[in-house]
């Protein structure tokens, strides 16, 4: 890579999306001396609150995109449902988009995504597209029991229906509004985990240690780092993540969610073309955070070390914590626990199931981190850590 690819500190970096991922990116970018412009249509913008410029317009607004393109030589995204066409438009205007519009387009459609991952040589769950009522009738019997998912816009467990028997499929398809869906066979899971792979303009790649994830009601509740899986399983997942990123010609930070099955095999579930909730723990636990890596890939800088500094456990804090506390939770008690780092996202209103922040609990050992996480969970009335 030549120096001409490098964007020096003082340059502007664009962020499509104004949520907590954009907020944490903006903090890292400013620490490295960059200015961030956020494009976000929301009334409240956690990312815009800590950025140099906030453009409050639609992601499809041509005037806003032109403003972004004229100011920012590089643009990224903090959620996968930013219109891929908007990223393509920015690229036409000369912006370096990390990720490319094509990569985002793959992640936005579960049918397209599954086909791409399989073509890259990475195993996926048995599945079938469900695009019509006739597809419900013709679905292979071996896919049951299964899960019917909308092909687009589903997240945190939304847009999914369990279908134990084939005769339930049509009803489930109708309940989802007859939109394009995918039917996936339910598998015997041992562990859910994720790998975050960073890929630079020159094709350089780096992966973080594997994250072990636990969900409740479809929402990530806890991440354990390092994952409690065999070394060979970790190596396989990291290699598969790199294989997918290389096949996409990806630039930026990419998360691959994996299932570790009872027989020890590893199955890729889905991709997220951005930093990931499970990777928030890297801010304190790793030499370089996922957000600093996002800055580095955009600016054409070398990737940082992804080595683990200390074991840790991250707990998501949902709006439920305010409900249970009947007001503001007791942050002072949380912060009194050694090794605990609190991140609140600046959202205007706590709501049930809404991600409002997270706590990272560090320790000299994973057992020590777990004990601290249990204390945090008791104070905030969170689910008991696994």
If you write DSSP's letter for every residue of 290-335 in order, what string do you get? HHHHHHHHHHTPPPPP--BSS-EEEEEEETHHHHHHTSS--HHHHH
202 marked ligand binding residue: no
Does 75 map to a domain? Answer: yes
Rounded-to-integer distance, Cα 240 and Cα 223, Å: 20
With residue 231 as reference, give the H or E element that holds it: helix 231-248
- pLDDT surpasses 70 at 157: no
Question: Domain boundary residue among 161, 185, 209?
Answer: 185
| pLDDT, average across residues 221-237 | 97
185 marked ligand binding residue: yes
Q: Identify the three-state secondary structure at position 262.
A: coil
- pLDDT surpasses 50 at 1: no
pTM confidence score? 0.95
Strands (E), 82-121: 96-97
Residues 167 and 221 placed together within one structural domain of the fold: no
Residues 240 and 363 placed together within one structural domain of the fold: yes
In the chain, how many domains are there?
3
Mean residue pLDDT of the chain comes to 95
For residue 161, what are the domain limits? Answer: 126-185
Strands (E), 30-152: 35-39, 53-55, 74-77, 96-97, 127-130, 146-150
Residues 205 and 280 placed together within one structural domain of the fold: yes
184 marked ligand binding residue: yes
Question: Domain boundary residue among 166, 185, 204?
Answer: 185
155 marked ligand binding residue: yes
154 marked ligand binding residue: yes
pLDDT of residue 158: 72
| pLDDT, average across residues 133-149 | 95
pLDDT per position as a tens digit, 313-324: 999 999 999 999
- pLDDT surpasses 90 at 2: no
| pLDDT, average across residues 31-57 | 97
Rounded-to-integer distance, Cα 114 and Cα 83, Å: 20
19 marked ligand binding residue: no
24, two tokens: 């944490």
| pLDDT, average across residues 101-113 | 95
Residues 214 and 344 placed together within one structural domain of the fold: yes
Beta bridge partner(s), residue 200: none
CATH number at residue 165: 3.30.1490.20
158 marked ligand binding residue: yes
Does 315 map to a domain? Answer: yes
269 marked ligand binding residue: yes
156 marked ligand binding residue: yes
5 marked ligand binding residue: no
160 marked ligand binding residue: yes
> Comparing C-alpha atoms, which of 243, 355, 295, 320 is closest to residue 96?
295
């Amino acid at each position: 890579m030549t120096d001409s690819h490098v964007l020096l500190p003082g340059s502007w970096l664009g962020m499509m999306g104004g949520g907590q991922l954009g907020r944490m990116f903006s903090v890292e970018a400013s620490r490295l001396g960059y200015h961030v412009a956020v494009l976000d249509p929301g009334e409240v913008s956690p990312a815009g609150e800590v950025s140099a410029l906030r453009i409050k317009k639609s992601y499809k607004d041509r005037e806003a995109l032109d403003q972004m393109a004229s100011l920012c030589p590089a643009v990224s995204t903090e959620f996968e449902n930013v219109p891929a066409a908007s990223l393509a438009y920015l690229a036409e205007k000369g912006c370096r988009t990390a990720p490319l519009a094509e990569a985002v387009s793959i992640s936005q459609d579960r049918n397209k995504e599954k086909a791409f991952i399989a073509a890259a040589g990475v195993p996926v769950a048995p599945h079938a597209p469900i695009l019509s009522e006739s597809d419900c009738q013709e679905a292979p019997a071996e896919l049951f029991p299964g899960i019917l998912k909308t092909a687009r816009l589903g997240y945190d467990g939304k847009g999914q229906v369990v279908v134990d028997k084939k005769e339930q499929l049509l009803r489930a398809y109708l309940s989802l509004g007859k939109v394009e869906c995918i039917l996936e066979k339910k598998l015997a899971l041992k562990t859910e985990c994720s790998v975050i792979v960073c890929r630079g303009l020159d094709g350089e790649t780096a992966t973080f240690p594997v994250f072990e994830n636990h969900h409740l009601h479809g929402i990530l509740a806890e991440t354990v780092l390092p994952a409690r899986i065999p070394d060979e399983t970790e190596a396989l997942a990291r290699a598969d993540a790199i294989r997918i990123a290389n096949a996409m010609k990806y630039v930026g930070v990419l998360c691959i969610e994996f299932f570790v099955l009872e027989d020890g095999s590893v199955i890729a579930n889905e991709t997220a073309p951005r930093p990931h909730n499970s990777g928030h723990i890297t801010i304190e636990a790793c030499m370089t955070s996922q957000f600093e890596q996002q800055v580095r890939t955009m600016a054409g800088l070398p990737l940082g070390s992804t080595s683990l500094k200390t074991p840790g456990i991250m707990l998501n804090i949902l709006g439920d914590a305010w409900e249970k506390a009947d007001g503001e939770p007791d942050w002072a008690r949380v912060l009194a626990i050694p090794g605990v780092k609190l991140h609140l996202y600046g959202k205007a209103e706590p709501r049930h199931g809404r991600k409002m922040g997270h706590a990272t609990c560090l320790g000299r050992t994973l057992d020590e981190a777990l004990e601290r996480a249990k204390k945090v969970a008791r104070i905030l009335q969170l689910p008991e850590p696994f």
